[in-house]
């Protein structure tokens, strides 16, 4: 079985967000990590490899620096890493990103493609389903449990108040939830090997069956009109009182607002 896992290097929005003096996000000062949902997707692929035997290829699109997450994936146990990088691919929205990644994946053999549900920087959850559409294969989003059954996958697909157990014929694409599993750590041996391993780098010329008009900033239907630091609602009153006075204070406010 051949599995392709799509991963993204993202700024760690959880571990403290840094801003430039002009209010824009200071990406340089923020730690770059493998997107958590993607890491769960990679772990799912590695477990399928442990269980059924599989070749796991990780693909990322980004700046040359994004090679770091490929090495991390190799150190966790992935077999091959492919970096898709080219200036003309920059500034892509989800349509152009998914077009690019689909163009790269067309060069590969695959039974299963796994992506994360969403990246913590863009938060769109669009690229996975869009890749599946470009490649004309079924998609199962929000996967919680993945099993192989002959030429099909059986997956628990999560909704707000239920889950469906669904069966899809391979090849198909699955988007993984970070709740899916606890990703394994890199092994020291794995890290050494990962740094010795060769990473394949592809540029625009290596993308199969894609049109220039669908790539990068120019090929993006959506355009940013404005981006700004979120204006937060200002702080109200803050008081430090003993418990009894605190209760009187809250009761006063609730009565004043006709809540009780």
Partner 1 sequence: MGLEEYKGVYVFAQQVDNKLSGIAFELLGKAKDLAKDLGAEVAAVLIGYQVKDLADELAAYGADKVIVVDDPELKEYRTEPYAHALASVINEFKPEIMLVGATAIGRDLGPRVSARVATGLTADCTKLEIGDFPLNPMPGREQKHNQLLMTRPAFGGNTIATIACPNHRPQMATVRPGVMQAIDKIEGAKATVVEFNPGFEPNDKYVEILDIVKSVSDTVDIMDAKILVSGGRGVGSPENFKLLEDLAAAIGGEVSCSRAVVDSGWKPKDLQVGQTGKTVRPNVYFAIGISGAIQHVAGMEESDLIIAINKDDSAPIFDVADYGIVGDLNKIVPALTKAINEAKAQKQ
- What part of residues 178-217 is at the interface with partner 1 (CB under 8 A)? none
**Between residues 70 and 158, which has the closer beta carbon with respect to partner 1?**
158
Distance CA 129, CA 135 (A): 10
Tell me the closest approach of the beta carbon of residue 135 to partner 1, in angstroms.
10
Q: What is the smallest separation between the CB atom of 214 and partner 1, expressed in angstroms?
A: 9
Which residue from 96, 124, 121 is spatially nearest to 27, judged by alpha carbons? 121
Among the listed residues 56, 101, 120, 194, the single contact to partner 1 using CB under 8 A: 120
Stretch that binds partner 1, among 74-82, 118-126, 181-189, 190-198 (CB under 8 A): 118-126
Per the structure block, which two tokens stand in for 170?
């391979």
* Min CB(248)–partner 1 separation in Å: 8
Under rule CB under 8 A, which residues in 30-89 are in contact with partner 1?
none
- Residue 22, interface with partner 1 (CB under 8 A)? no
Q: Which of 57, 85, 98, 100 binds partner 1 (CB under 8 A)?
A: 98
Nearer to partner 1 by Cβ, of 34 and 70: the residue is 34
Of 4 and 10, which CB lies nearer to partner 1 in the complex structure? Answer: 10
Of 216, 231, 210, the residue nearest 62 (C-alpha): 216
**CA–CA gap between residue 167 and residue 140 (Å, rounded):** 9
Q: Which of 1, 88, 166, 199 binds partner 1 (CB under 8 A)?
A: 166
Comparing CA positions, the residue from 87, 93, 75 lying closest to residue 183 is 75
Q: Is 14 in the site for partner 1 (CB under 8 A)?
A: yes
Residues 124-163, interacting with partner 1 (CB under 8 A): 124-130, 132-134, 136-142, 154, 158-163
**Is the link from the previous residue into 12 a cis peptide, with omega within 30 of 0?**
no
Q: Give the span between the Cα atoms of 50 and 44, in whole angstroms.
A: 10
Tallying the residues shown for the chain, one arrives at 260
Stretches 43-51, 59-67, 181-189, 239-247: which one binds partner 1 (CB under 8 A)?
A: 239-247
Residue count at the site for partner 1 (CB under 8 A)?
Answer: 80
Residue 48 CA to residue 59 CA, distance in Å, equals 18
What's the rounded Cα separation, in Å, for the pair 194 and 80? 10
Distance CA 107, CA 207 (A): 8
């Amino acid at each position: 079985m051949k599995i392709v896992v799509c991963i993204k290097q993202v700024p760690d929005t959880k571990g403290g967000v840094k801003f430039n003096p002009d209010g824009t996000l200071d990406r340089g000062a923020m730690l770059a990590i493998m997107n958590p949902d993607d890491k769960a997707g990679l772990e799912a692929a590695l477990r399928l490899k442990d269980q059924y035997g599989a070749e796991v290829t990780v693909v990322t699109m980004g700046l040359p620096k994004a090679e770091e997450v490929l090495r991390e994936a190799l150190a966790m146990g992935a077999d091959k890493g492919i970096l898709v990088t080219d200036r003309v691919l920059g500034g892509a929205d989800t349509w152009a990103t998914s077009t690019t990644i689909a163009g790269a994946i067309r060069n590969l053999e695959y039974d299963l493609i796994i992506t994360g549900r969403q990246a913590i920087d863009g938060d769109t959850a669009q690229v996975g389903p869009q890749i599946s559409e470009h490649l004309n294969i079924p998609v199962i989003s929000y996967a919680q449990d993945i099993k192989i059954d002959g030429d099909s996958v059986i997956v628990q697909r999560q909704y707000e108040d239920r889950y469906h157990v669904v069966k899809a014929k391979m090849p198909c694409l699955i988007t993984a939830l970070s709740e899916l599993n606890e990703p394994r750590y890199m092994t020291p041996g794995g890290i050494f090997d990962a740094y010795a391993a060769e990473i394949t780098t592809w540029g625009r010329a290596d993308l199969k069956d894609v049109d220039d008009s669908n790539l990068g900033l120019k090929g993006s239907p959506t355009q940013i009109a404005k981006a700004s630091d979120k204006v937060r609602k200002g702080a109200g009153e803050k008081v430090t009182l003993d418990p009894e006075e605190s209760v009187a204070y809250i009761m006063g406010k609730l009565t004043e607002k006709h809540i009780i």
